[in-house]
Amino acid sequence: MPSAATIDPGKGASVREGGQDGTFSGAKLALAAFVLAMANFVVVLDMTIANVSVPHISGGLAVSTESGTWVITSYAVAEAICVPLTGWLAGRFGTVRLFLLSIAGFGIFSALCGFATTLPMLVAFRIGQGFCGGPLMPLSQTLLLKIFPKADHSKAMAMWAMTVVVAPIAGPILGGYISDNWHWRWIFFINVPIVAAVFFALAVLLRDVVTPLRKAPIDVTGLLLLIIWVGAFQMMLDLGHDRDWFNNGLICALAAIAIVFFGIFVIWELTADHPIVDLAVFRHRGFSASTFALMLAFGTYFSAVVITPQWLQAGMGYTATWAGIAMAPAGVLAVFASPLVPKLMQRFDPRLLVFAGVSWLAFCAYLRTYWSTDSTLWEVSFPQLIQGVGVAFMIVPLTTIGLAAVDPEETASAAGISNFGRTLAGAIGTSVVTTLWADQGRKDGADLVAGMNNVEGTVVQLQHQGMSTEMARAAIDRLVEIQAQAQATVHVAAYSAVALMIAAFAIWFAPRPPKGTAPSAGH
């Protein structure tokens, strides 16, 4: 455990560690917690806010839509690389200092993205935005644990979890509305005033919070290996669906690079004296089991957030606004349920709460297997509404179990790796489910065509209603396509239910935490 007094290499003098864990209270605690949660919300929001704006961005910069997807890929790659480095960076520069530098950089690069006039400029600024935004997720988690009294750490995680749940849902809705009614540049400009407020508020509120510094050498080799394998893997995921996956030479090359360099990275980091990513935290069974369950559950959950709006717009005729309305209830009950979870964790085994929450998500996925082209808005929205309870019961206890299992000085590293796993799981789940949905749609479409009777008779009837032969056949093709999309959505929901049940049972591999346990704040 680090001592109360530390040496700040930047000043060369001993400084007393202020703001000991849990000394915040009352209005100061509430304000600091809200501001930290808002910082995390903005970063998570930026993962999805640009997704629906790609056509607008591509048109505005006079590039193809496929080229425009680099706006998403560049941010995701940079963030994925930087998130697991958080523990090392926090130790070298200090948690608060790194947080303030990161939030300031995020705001600056957000503004630069809005001013970009060419695609290369925008991609370069998005990389900077991703690098600065990456540490903010785990650092906001760590700082919340530091300022809250130890007995209320579960409440801190509940507040943090709400931002993780609500932001990915709000992103597409907000991004679509801004792009349709204002200009795509405002999806970046909107970050600036929020980030400025967060920066100045935390600069004042956390000015007495000084965390120990560890002047560890820079693991240059580990950093390069991390950049190579994460970059190759993320690009493979982002480009795979459009390029027919492993039937494409580039995708095969990226997969080979990712596998080889990942293996070298793991070996190097486990044997290095000062690893840039502390993989040793996986020696804790509680952290390993909770991280696996979180990755599988969140990846499956997040993939549904991606494909459901696509189906509603492509197959059900919903506008982007109404698709957003159908998805929006997902965060409602999560907001109300999250504050209740910490109280339940004081009375029940947290693993039981995780099992119940993830099983509830599996039940919600099962309800989606009853969707059809005749489903009403309420029938579509109802599973979204009730799944919020499951999400709250999943994220809060899982995070608590994972961070409580590691040593106090490993909390920042563990939080970074856990967030990296969640981010990576979202990317993997999205790529896998999007491909599965498209392939299943083609298969279901072929089955529907094979089972059709009296097609020519239907064509004749449509011709009697004033359609030409081509129009009649096109109408039938469109009907088959819509039904195939609906069936594919139902099949994917069934697969998701199975995956979520596996995740639910996985948490039992974690040892039972002591009653009333809460993660250490880590210094």
Cβ neighbours for 317, distance < 8 A, ≥ 6 positions apart: none
Shortest CA distance to 340 belongs to which of 290, 388, 376?
388
Task: Identify the pLDDT of residue 466.
Answer: 67
User: pTM (2 decimals)?
Assistant: 0.73
Shortest CA distance to 138 belongs to which of 98, 165, 174, 104?
98
SS3 content of the chain, % helix, strand, coil (to 5): 80, 0, 20
Q: Rounded to an integer, what is the distance from CA 363 to the centroid of its chain?
A: 22
179 bridge partner residues: none
Q: Which residue's structure tokens are 């003098």?
A: 13
How far apart are alpha carbons 303 and 298 in whole angstroms? 8
How far apart are alpha carbons 331 and 334 in whole angstroms? 5
Helices (H) and strands (E) in the chain, counts: 22, 2
Tokens of 250: 């580039």
Query: Kind and range of the H or E element at 152?
Result: none
414 contacts 402 by C-beta, under 8 angstroms: yes
Query: Kind and range of the H or E element at 319?
Result: none
Alpha helix ranges (H) inside 17-152: 26-48, 54-61, 65-68, 70-82, 86-93, 95-115, 119-133, 136-147
Task: Identify the pLDDT of residue 497.
Answer: 93
How far apart are alpha carbons 482 and 58 in whole angstroms? 28
Provide the 3-class DSSP secondary structure of residue 387: helix
102 contacts 197 by C-beta, under 8 angstroms: no
- pLDDT tens by residue, 279-317: 888 888 888 898 899 889 988 887 777 778 778 877 788
Q: Which residue's structure tokens are 């996985």?
A: 506
392 contacts 154 by C-beta, under 8 angstroms: no
Provide the 3-class DSSP secondary structure of residue 146: helix
Task: Identify the pLDDT of residue 340.
Answer: 82
Q: Rounded to an integer, what is the distance from CA 111 to the centroid of its chain?
A: 23
Task: Identify the pLDDT of residue 112.
Answer: 93
Q: What letter represents residue 302's amino acid?
A: F
321 contacts 177 by C-beta, under 8 angstroms: yes
How far apart are alpha carbons 522 and 288 in whole angstroms? 18
Tokens of 364: 């919600």
Residues 290, 295, 300, 305: is their CA dihedral positive or negative?
positive
Shortest CA distance to 63 belongs to which of 54, 52, 76?
54
Task: Identify the pLDDT of residue 154.
Answer: 67
Low-confidence ranges of the chain (pLDDT < 70): 1-26, 48, 51-55, 64-69, 73, 151, 153-154, 157, 165, 168-169, 172, 209-216, 320-321, 412, 453-460, 462-464, 466, 514-523
Tokens of 360: 């509830």
Provide the 3-class DSSP secondary structure of residue 397: helix
Q: How many residues does the chain have?
A: 523
Task: Identify the pLDDT of residue 54.
Answer: 67
- Alpha-carbon radius of gyration of the chain: 24
Task: Identify the pLDDT of residue 216.
Answer: 66
First to last CA, the chain: 9
Task: Identify the pLDDT of residue 463.
Answer: 64
How far apart are alpha carbons 347 and 342 in whole angstroms? 9
Phi-psi bin for 62: left (phi > 0), alpha (psi -120 to 50), beta? left
Phi-psi bin for 348: left (phi > 0), alpha (psi -120 to 50), beta? beta
Task: Identify the pLDDT of residue 365.
Answer: 92
Tokens of 371: 């969707």
Shortest CA distance to 294 belongs to which of 168, 136, 425, 386?
425
Shortest CA distance to 274 belongs to which of 211, 215, 212, 213?
215
Task: Identify the pLDDT of residue 256.
Answer: 93
